Amino acid sequence: MTSVKPVTAIDELAPLKRQYMQQTTAPLDGMWLCGLVPLAAHYGIYEEDDLVGFYCVNDEGFLLQFFVTPDHQHRTSQLFASILRSDQASSCEIRGAFVSTAEPRFLSLCLDQFASFEVNALMYQHAGSAIEQPQSSLAMTAVDSAQLSQAVDFAVASIGAAADWLRTYFKNLIDRRELFGVWKNGQLIATGESRGYDEFQTGYADVGVIVARSERGKGVATKVLMQLVARNQADHLQSICSTERTNVAAQKAISRAGFFASNRIIQFHTEASGPADRE
């Protein structure tokens, strides 16, 4: 008999998570993999007492991952459809899914079951050509703990993200020496981050940049990205990044820094409707 149970300790799913990652065809977006997926509600799929799969759902009802072990692959479509119909003991209604084109099995299930979809974001990998540290006027240095509040205030003003979330997120980056800043006349005008992985995608680093509104259109984002790529190349890491489908300015900066859009993040809906917020 098949049953679904909430999983409060995600570590219990570690063996299945490893198998899930082995099925991917390209590195996954770090913000989704390390930032949003751990915050989602996780459920185990059990056959009698044996754990045979899992899925996770964010607080808006969107699936973020779905996996069934190889021994039960022949039942994958049936189990997926059952979960969407709420035949199992899931605590929330499934409204759709976010899945990348680098997750082909999950993607195929979503294509079979959901009514509509659109591209949510573009996923980039660096082309791999060697980049020397750019000779520019941008002096990029690591942000330290004393500068945390300044970095948070800067990001809130620049992109409108939630201060509480940023404080936790930036503190972790600072502790790992993965957050960098560019100052002009004592004011922070750009931040760059390069998030490494402790497991799974250990050969990659996710890079990102935020530029002050007053400094946009001056090539700052591209210069910061190039410096981050050069740092990662020195550490034998391949740089990856992503941006929303509608952010044309970011796409241009990313391309100029030597990245190509190898994959997409797709948003699926149970009904034909507009996209939900990513975060």
Question: Mean pLDDT, to the nearest integer, of 125-130?
Answer: 86
Lowest mean pLDDT among 189-193, 197-201, 235-239: 197-201
* DSSP-assigned beta bridge partners for residue 62: 96
| pTM of the entire predicted model | 0.88
Percent of the chain with pLDDT over 90: 83
Q: Could you give the C-alpha distances from 185 to 120, 142, 166, 188, in angstroms and in order?
A: 37, 17, 24, 8
Q: Domains in the chain, start-ordered, CATH in brackets? A: 2-122 (3.40.630.80), 128-257 (3.40.630.30)
157 token code pair: 């003003």
Ramachandran class of 3: left when φ > 0, alpha when ψ lies in -120 to 50, beta otherwise: beta
Query: What secondary structure does DSSP assign to 97-152, as a single string?
Result: EEEETT-HHHHHHHHHH-SEEEEEEEEEEE-----PPP-SS--EEE--GGGHHHHH
Q: How is residue 86 annotated by DSSP?
A: T
**Neighbouring C-alpha atoms within 13 Å toward the C-beta of 113:** 24
Q: How far apart are CA 165 and CA 168, in angstroms?
A: 5
**Mean pLDDT taken over the chain:** 91
- Please report the pLDDT score of residue 279 as a whole number: 37
Give pLDDT tens digits for 136-153.
Answer: 558 899 999 999 999 999
Tokens of 48: 């009698």
Q: What percent of the chain has pLDDT over 70?
A: 92
Q: How confident is the model at residue 278 (pLDDT cuts 50, 70, 90)?
A: very low
pLDDT digits (tens, 9 = 90+) for 14-64: 999 999 999 999 999 998 998 899 999 999 999 988 999 999 999 999 999
Confidence band (pLDDT; 50, 70, 90) for 133? low
